[in-house]
Chains A and B, each alone.
Chain A
């Protein structure tokens, strides 16, 4: 998962009461309205990473995830003046909330840069809560409006928020490559001869339909670069890239699949592919260490039979 997306995934986790991570925002009554939502304010348009809301008291949170320490002053000022009236005009106010519900930006950052982010906001005269996260840690602090309460979560298991969204259109090629490999292998398992790269893109990055034309072009370019690299490396002889033309969308032609092996040879063929791809992605691959296998009484052929067993 692209580490840039940890803050967004933390917000999604906190708003879901599924036991996968902390769920303090869900406990406070917040629900997810949307991700990647254009929000109008009197200072201009911003695209909020996530919009949460709650009822009674009604409150809308515009969540902006930042993986680094740098905020943009202009963007911060747009967030700061966003209100329900502007959201309603832009069609981005959740229908359930009151027309005059308070709207608050919530900056979501890694915990090690929290102080820098707070200092930057203070320097611009913006008073707003900050949520900072780390492995097994989440802290919401700062000036909170009615309906939002501060919290600190710091307890095992020490895990990161689950990766609901693994990449976006700005993610580095290495992160995208891992998910393209997954799509290729799924297509191989289904014995598909062709993997349409546009379809693969929409499954890898679910906000694909919302992407601008230029964003789609950039993302497809990344996928093509990954496919070209794999076709010349670990998946040489297995896949071929058809870069497409005006009339033909780019696609991957699958020339070989372990699924075509007989049932005995299939696992070894898949394992071989995993080892090669692991090397390509810069990972350690390989089989588990050999252990002394515990023998069973059945291995001694005592002549017992259990005909009733299925």
Chain B
């Protein structure tokens, strides 16, 4: 059985080796390490449950699973071998050194065909908590589907900033009324570690995708784990607060607990347009509903999150979206909605903290 530390060492060697050569340690192809955060809902939240879900998914994707170590798996295809770490049975990490397009294709297919799997969805406040010194910032705001209209001053903006003070640029754009709504943080690049423990160049994006482009992978992995831990805390916090849970009282009656989540857009939007663009059952929202106009500029939708097949209710006004989660609905559903509204409607969209 492969020790996890040995696996991390092999990935460090792979990062430092030019692509195209022999397998490093007979295990990993040389190249940058692409890591994908996957949120899993095994039938049983345990190592065995994770194993069962991983094996089912591998079969569906025509990948051959092989256990390398404790909660550490290799998934082999004709093109490449990917590695999945299920140490946390709900929040998995997939590592690969093959081409990013191929990794993305496999991940897309996995989450599209398996309702118990989703990627991570990091809102900008969380993404900006990536460890290290940030020196790269990418904004790729695209509101064609949800805003549209010729009267929108900015509905698609791409900015790539490389320099030592990306936060300053973000603050500058955020202070301008025209651009404030476009300051979605799509990716952050960071130098993590120090001279004592080693250094690594790490890029993280809002879909829970990471690239370790240079340096010590163990240092990068530590930064990834820390962000994943924060993401887990965030998702579990959403579930604890926003699931509307019903419990029978002793004898008669029913208690009801849980808040309604309120997402404030930070601006007024054309609700009809937003509703028309949101329920197309396609990426990234993958929401299905037959929305209903209940009043002037007020719409509701008893929707289904197609990623996981869970129901949720959405209530729209020009400035806010209220979300009512069912007792079974996953917090990742709300995280995905919030994150993608920041990327595709208005970057200022945020949860109201009552």
Chain B residue at smallest Cβ distance from A191: B115
Chain B residue at smallest Cβ distance from A310: B209
Q: Say yes or no: is B306 at the interface (Cβ < 8 Å to chain A).
A: yes
A300 to chain B, nearest CB (A): 13
Q: Say yes or no: is A182 at the interface (Cβ < 8 Å to chain B).
A: yes
Of listed B256, B261, B315, residue having the most chain A CB within 10 A: B256
B124 to chain A, nearest CB (A): 16
On chain B, the residues within 8 Å of A128 by CB distance are none
Contact in complex: B253, A189 (CB < 8 Å): no
Contact of A210 among B254, B311, B320 (CB under 8 A): B254
Binds A, one of B80-88, B148-156, B164-172, B337-345: B148-156
A97 to B253, CA, bound (A): 17
A294 touching B288 in the complex, CB below 8 Å, given contacts A19-B262, A263-B108, A267-B282: no
On chain B, the residues within 8 Å of A248 by CB distance are none
Chain A residue at smallest Cβ distance from B156: A294
Contact in complex: B253, A206 (CB < 8 Å): no
Contact in complex: A190, B309 (CB < 8 Å): yes
Contact in complex: A92, B252 (CB < 8 Å): yes
Binds B, one of A68-76, A108-116, A221-229, A277-285: A277-285
Q: Say yes or no: is B210 at the interface (Cβ < 8 Å to chain A).
A: yes
A156 to chain B, nearest CB (A): 8
A14 to B189, CA, bound (A): 45
Interface 0/1 of A158-190, CB less than 8 Å to B: 111011101000000000001101110111111
Contact in complex: B262, A309 (CB < 8 Å): no
Contact in complex: B315, A186 (CB < 8 Å): no
Contact of B310 among A23, A186, A273, A307 (CB under 8 A): A186
A267 to B284, CA, bound (A): 11
A164 touching B260 in the complex, CB below 8 Å, given contacts A37-B253, A271-B281, A274-B288: yes
Q: Say yes or no: is B229 at the interface (Cβ < 8 Å to chain A).
A: no
Q: Say yes or no: is A216 at the interface (Cβ < 8 Å to chain B).
A: no
A246 to chain B, nearest CB (A): 27
A37 to B256, CA, bound (A): 12
Contact in complex: A162, B322 (CB < 8 Å): yes
Contact of B352 among A19, A179, A258, A283 (CB under 8 A): A19
A283 to B279, CA, bound (A): 14
Contact in complex: B148, A288 (CB < 8 Å): yes
Contact in complex: A182, B253 (CB < 8 Å): no
Contact of A32 among B108, B256, B304 (CB under 8 A): B256
Q: Say yes or no: is B32 at the interface (Cβ < 8 Å to chain A).
A: yes
Chain B residue at smallest Cβ distance from A32: B256
A292 to B150, CA, bound (A): 8
Chain B residue at smallest Cβ distance from A291: B148
Q: Say yes or no: is A203 at the interface (Cβ < 8 Å to chain B).
A: yes
A162 to chain B, nearest CB (A): 5
Q: Say yes or no: is A293 at the interface (Cβ < 8 Å to chain B).
A: yes
On chain B, the residues within 8 Å of A244 by CB distance are none
Chain A residue at smallest Cβ distance from B295: A135
A163 touching B315 in the complex, CB below 8 Å, given contacts A18-B262, A274-B279, A288-B145: yes
Chain B residue at smallest Cβ distance from A292: B150
Contact in complex: A310, B204 (CB < 8 Å): yes
On chain B, the residues within 8 Å of A13 by CB distance are 260
On chain B, the residues within 8 Å of A209 by CB distance are 248, 254
Contact in complex: B290, A274 (CB < 8 Å): yes
A187 touching B309 in the complex, CB below 8 Å, given contacts A210-B248, A210-B254: yes
A23 to B255, CA, bound (A): 18
Q: Say yes or no: is A207 at the interface (Cβ < 8 Å to chain B).
A: yes
Of listed A33, A288, A293, residue having the most chain B CB within 10 A: A288
B286 to chain A, nearest CB (A): 8
On chain B, the residues within 8 Å of A289 by CB distance are 148, 276
Contact in complex: A20, B292 (CB < 8 Å): no
Of listed A23, A183, A185, A298, residue having the most chain B CB within 10 A: A185
B317 to chain A, nearest CB (A): 5
A49 to chain B, nearest CB (A): 11
On chain A, the residues within 8 Å of B304 by CB distance are 182, 185-186, 189
Residues of B258-313 at the interface with A, using a CB-CB cut-off of 8 Å, are 259-262, 273, 276-277, 279-282, 288-292, 294-295, 298, 300, 302-306, 308-311, 313
Enumerate chain A interface residues (CB-CB to B < 8 A).
1, 12-13, 16-20, 23, 32-38, 51, 91-92, 135, 157-160, 162-164, 166, 178-179, 181-183, 185-191, 203, 206-207, 209-210, 258-259, 263, 266-267, 270-271, 273-274, 277-278, 281, 283, 285-289, 291-294, 296-298, 306-310
Enumerate chain B interface residues (CB-CB to A < 8 A).
32, 34, 100, 108-109, 112-113, 115, 136, 138, 144-145, 148-150, 155-156, 158, 160, 187, 189, 201, 203-205, 207, 209-211, 213, 244, 246, 248-256, 259-262, 273, 276-277, 279-282, 288-292, 294-295, 298, 300, 302-306, 308-311, 313, 315, 317-320, 322, 324, 326, 352-354
**What are 13 A-to-B residue pairs whose CB atoms are below 8 Å?**
A13-B260, A17-B354, A91-B252, A157-B317, A159-B298, A160-B295, A163-B313, A271-B281, A274-B281, A291-B149, A307-B213, A308-B32, A310-B203
Additional A-B contact list (11), CB under 8 Å, known A135-B295, A190-B309: A37-B249, A135-B298, A163-B324, A166-B313, A186-B311, A187-B309, A266-B281, A288-B148, A291-B150, A293-B144, A310-B204
